Structure 1
Amino acid sequence: MAKDKLADISTKAPNKEDKAEIKAKTEKILAELDDLQNLLYAGREHAVLIVLQGMDAAGKDGTIRKVFGQLNPQGVAVQPFKGPTEDELAHDFLWRIHRHAPAKGMMQVFNRSHYEDVLIQRVHSWIDDKVAFQRMKAINQFEQLLAKHNNTVILKFYLHISPEEQAGRLAERTEDPTKMWKYNAADLAEAKLWDKYRAAYDDVFEHCSDIPWHIVPADNNWYKEYYIAKTVRDALKALDMHYPRLKTSDAKVGH
């Protein structure tokens, strides 16, 4: 990705894109993605880790439902990361993350991730900058471990929304009965720390890009879903996967 700061990157879909056309393209991509995920599961040669990061109300849950919800649940797992438990705090910060790294054949989606340990903890001064940058180095090493030693494709997405769009979505949670269950008063307090979060994310993008980030314009859900689905589809196609063939011994048993 480019070295631009978040403040310089648009949160909206490109003007040239037509909503109806993009939604139609997304449906075709999701059908392809379903086939590719089946290949991944059958071959068990690669693992896929999807990292979803973003401010509150950026659309992480919706992305999981719309993009990954149609795939075979045998081969897809979703792991949300909330505040660490007492047991998790007694271990190194990556312990609770590594336990959920995907096995070969599996697609694992992280709803928030190991990056929370250099974002929210830094914004609230629960760790200092020295520890934060030490952790960023450890994160790079962790991701390289997964990529190089377990054939893990890692796709990291930051869902980039504007403060105005976030405010509207948070307000909906107090008005729409289907969204009230998402309401958390703490989200409003976190929203006031927008500038600090943006600076922390800028540091993450600069120092944790050995495996690159995708900055996804997320004010328009239809474009966000297309962007992520297409990126995942393209990454899986590039693996050039094939269904396993019968072994000679297995073929003989059938006769």
Structure 2
Amino acid sequence: MDYINSSAYRVTGPMKISEVPTREDFGLSDKQLKKDLKITRRELGEFQDMLYAHGKYSVLICLQGMDTSGKDSLIREVFKDFNVSGVEVHSFKVPTELELDHNYLWRHYIALPAKGKFGVFNRTHYENVLVTRVHPEYILGERIPGIHSVADIQQKFWDKRFEQINNFERHLFENGTIIFKFFLHLSKEEQRQRLLRRLDIREKHWKFSPGDLKERKLWEAYQSCYEEAINNTSKSYAPWDVIPADNKKAARVIVATILLERLKKYKDIREPALDAKIMANLETYENQLQGER
């Protein structure tokens, strides 16, 4: 969309999360935003077909945000026009026993999209420097050599994790994975309103958990962890975009526009040409099929 400056959301240097806006509507109605999203996601769906035919790149989309920031609905609306076989969504929750028997990146690595496909991580490998940072006792479940208690988890531990994540993403990029990382930036007041809606609307009751309120009390700690994680891991090969998320419809249009604009820059992604021998005999094949009447 012409009214969206997609580069404005990219983190290219140190940023203070408290200074980044959480709301945007571009002065447009919800109806217009929905219409614009429909146009953009249709183009994204066409690009996905071409990506699959080309077969040399994959696309990884990482979504992070506080509870109620709109990750689920964004996935539903932005990828609605994709071929269902061309996009895979993974939601990472509390690690299983099997996952804890491996390093913390393992479960993310095995969920990566194949060439020609889009993969969406709803919560991502960044949980390992966010939730575990706010609740460092969770790290003990990973059974890491040399880590015997929370006291052993110092700043250098997190610095090393940032380095490991950067290396992980660089490896993916250098092997043909196009990486997008979106932080859905929600205000604390908007989260309060959304949690209240979960309580007020019977159809939304299933979404509510008392644990949401416990985590909400740690809001400032999470904001600090997000700021440090984003500042340490927004790289040219895997940049972060901070998306104002108080208006869900605007957030969806912004994300869809960023995806489409940046993917279109890959001029080498195109439908493969037919083999010369096949091209030379197209008329013969057509005649053969026509002759079956």
User: Normalising by the residue count of structure 2, what TM-score does the alignment of the two structures yield?
Assistant: 0.82
In the TM superposition, residue 20 of structure 1 has moved relative to its aligned partner by 3.9
State whether residues 62 and 124 of structure 2, in contact with CA within 8 Å, keep that contact through their aligned partners in structure 1: yes
Selected match of 2:38 from 27, 46, 49: 27
**Within 2, Cα distance between the matches of 1:15 and 1:22?**
9
Residues 15 and 234 (structure 1), Cα distance of their counterparts in 2 relative to 1, 3 Å cut:
closer
**Partner Cα separation in structure 2 for residue 20 and residue 176 of structure 1:** 23
| Residues 92-101 or 234-243, more deviating | 234-243
Q: Give the corresponding residue for 1:177.
A: 202
Partner Cα separation in structure 1 for residue 115 and residue 281 of structure 2 = 27
The residue correspondences of 1:125-204 to structure 2 (distance < 5 A) are: 125-126=136-137, 127=139, 128=153, 129-149=155-175, 151-204=176-229
Greater displacement, 133-142 / 176-185: 176-185
- The Cα of 1:15 is off from its aligned counterpart by 5.5
1:18 CA displacement: 4.8
Q: What are the equivalent positions in structure 2 for 1:38-187 lying under 5 Å apart?
A: 38-126=49-137, 127=139, 128=153, 129-149=155-175, 151-187=176-212
Specify the SS of the correspondent of 1:48: strand
Deviation at 1:19, TM superposition (A): 4.0
The CA distance in 2 between the partners of 1:239 and 1:68, in whole Å, is 20
* Cα separation, 2, equivalents of 1:171 and 1:224: 21
How far apart are the structure 2 equivalents of 1:98 and 1:108?
11
Shift of 1:239: 1.4
Give the counterpart letter for 2:107 in structure 1.
R
What secondary structure is seen at the aligned counterpart in 2 of 1:244?
coil
1:131 CA displacement: 2.1
The 3-state SS of whatever aligns with 2:94 is coil
Q: 1:223: which partner in 2?
A: 250
Letter in 2 for 1:218: A
Distance 2:87 2:232 in 1: 29
How many residue pairs match? The answer is 254
Could you say which structure has the larger radius of gyration?
2
SS of the residue 2:112 aligns to: coil
**CA apart distance, 1:17:** 4.7
Query: How far apart are residue 252 of structure 1 and its match?
Result: 6.5
Q: Which moved more, 1:197-206 or 1:130-139?
A: 130-139
Return the alpha-carbon distance in structure 2 between the equivalents of residues 225 and 15 of structure 1.
13
SS at match of 2:158: helix
Corresponding position of 1:232 = 259
Pick the aligned partner of 2:275 from 242, 247, 250: 247
Two-structure CA RMSD over aligned residues (Å): 1.6
| Residue 251 of structure 1, CA deviation | 4.5
Percent identity reads: 39
Say yes or no: does 1:214 pair with 2:241. yes
The amino acid of 2:182's aligned partner reads: F
Q: Per the alignment, in what secondary structure is the counterpart of residue 13 of structure 1?
A: coil
Following superposition, the deviation at residue 248 of structure 1 comes to 3.1
TM-fit CA distance, 1:175: 2.0
CA distance in 1, matches of 2:177, 2:26: 35
Structure 2: 5+ residue stretches without partners: 1-10, 140-152, 285-293
AA aligned opposite 1:243: E
